[in-house]
Structure 1
Amino acid sequence: MAMDELLNEHEQGERVRSWLQRNAGSLIGGVAVGIAIIWGWQWWSDRQHGTQMHDAEQYEALIGDANNDPAKLAAGVGKLKADSMYGALARMQLAKAQVDVGKPQDALATLRAIHASDSGLSDVIDVRIGRLLVETGKPADAIALLGKATSPGALEVVGDAQAKQGQAQSAQATYKRALTMLEVGSPERTIVELKLADVGGAPDAAPATNAPVAAAAAQTPAQQPTK
């Protein structure tokens, strides 16, 4: 190795050593901060997991013991945080039980008290509230709640509200929008199709196929005419 290369390596080594001496304190502090962040994240993750497991166990026990009894469910939901997923699910189950025993106003109050942090769950709750509003004679409130929603469930409820108000054409258009998002043959689609028929509408016809072309494509080579 040439002398100038040795000197360059020595010089580089001295520079690294000098830099480490000057920055040792900050390096140690940085490592400590990094370790603290990692430990804090792991502690928070473990705590969240433990809380979710505890909530899940409480939810399962509540649903099993209450046997859809509104009084028992109401007594147990307070043990679950209203803004947690399992707290929201428990209150939704309570609302269903209240509807089953003929107390829709109680069910509305229960659903409105849920503070769902998950947007998907919040949308489901809004749809249930909207459905209850229609059933309790408040279609305009249902439309105000769900008028800007685009999910098929929400559109179905808006269509129900419009039908309740005697707006048959608007209901037809809304039901048809819902149908474009529902799978052919699914139970949900069948229900919306029945509602559409009730307001004098019919599902849009599927695009017609080119029968001669389709038939020719279906023929086997042996069946196709020779030129």
Structure 2
Amino acid sequence: MEVYSNENEQVDALRRFFANNGKALVVGVVLGVGALVGWRFWSNSQDGNARVTSAAYQQVTSALDASKPQTLAAASKFASENNNTYGALASLDLAKQFVEKNQLDEAATQLQNGLKNTDDANLQAVLNLRLARIQLQQKKADDALKTLDTIKGDGWVAIIADIRGEALLSKGDTQGARDAWSKGIESDASPALKEMMQMKMNNLG
């Protein structure tokens, strides 16, 4: 009802404006109505485009199979042609497939491309967390730590602490790893994640 109420108020305002200012402003009113119609057309077009893009994303990602190069190529093409959230999600899905094929460089590239396609902070965090894990597998601990530093938000503290501990330990910084996991345990982490970090600390001796 709120939408209809606002539209009615806008129409009433146009009517009053026209009544008070006479026929001399007909052109202005027509242009205003034209702009409104144009905006609605554009909005409806955007909604339609989003639905088409969503359907295309579902199609290419549901067919993804690491053993079938053509499905990887199709998803990669979709990701490169869609500089939006769907493109970023496709890059995320592709990265998983490349990790399964142990093609870590390609997986990292997909995640980095995905980061360019979205402004959503939570999706960026997920992409960066995956990227940091891959960088660890690539023996690039310093790169992983830099990637973790870009992630903002209290909801990611525990996961960041877990990966940071792994990165620091791989560099031989046992105390740094202990401090990172301790911070993770003290955060609002899930019981399972806290237990896992506690076990890692215990293994340090």
Aligning the two structures, in what range does the TM-score lie when normalised by the shorter sequence?
Answer: 0.7 to 0.9
Partner of 1:191: 196
Q: AA paired with 1:190?
A: E
Post-superposition shift, 1:133?
0.8
CA distance in 2, matches of 1:40, 1:197: 65
Give deviations 1:47-69, integer Å, cap 9, x for gaps. Answer: 22212211221122122223344
Superposition TM-score, scaled by structure 1 size: 0.68
Partner of 1:97: 97
Point out where structure 1 has 5 or more consecutive residues left out of the alignment: 1-15, 201-227
CA contact (8 A) 2:174 2:204 kept: yes
Which aligned pairs between 1:1-227 and structure 2 lie closer than 5 A? 20-21=21-22, 24-26=23-25, 28-69=26-67, 71-77=69-75, 78-80=77-79, 81-114=81-114, 115=116, 116-147=118-149, 149-150=151-152, 151-152=156-157, 153-185=159-191, 187-200=192-205
Q: Structure 1's 55 and 181: CA in aligned 2 closer, same or farther, altered over 3 A?
A: farther
CA contact (8 A) 1:111 1:129 kept: yes
If each structure's helix is expressed as a fraction of its own residues, which one has the higher value? 2
Larger Rg: 1
CA distance in 2, matches of 1:52, 1:178: 38
Q: Percent identity among equivalent residues? A: 21
Supply the RMSD in Å over aligned alpha carbons.
2.7
Q: AA paired with 2:185?
A: L
Q: Bigger relative contact order, structure 1 or 2, given CA contacts below 8 A and separation 6+?
A: 2
Post-superposition shift, 1:188?
3.4
Post-superposition shift, 1:108?
1.1
Point out where structure 2 has 5 or more consecutive residues left out of the alignment: 1-16
Superposition TM-score, scaled by structure 2 size: 0.74
Post-superposition shift, 1:45?
2.2
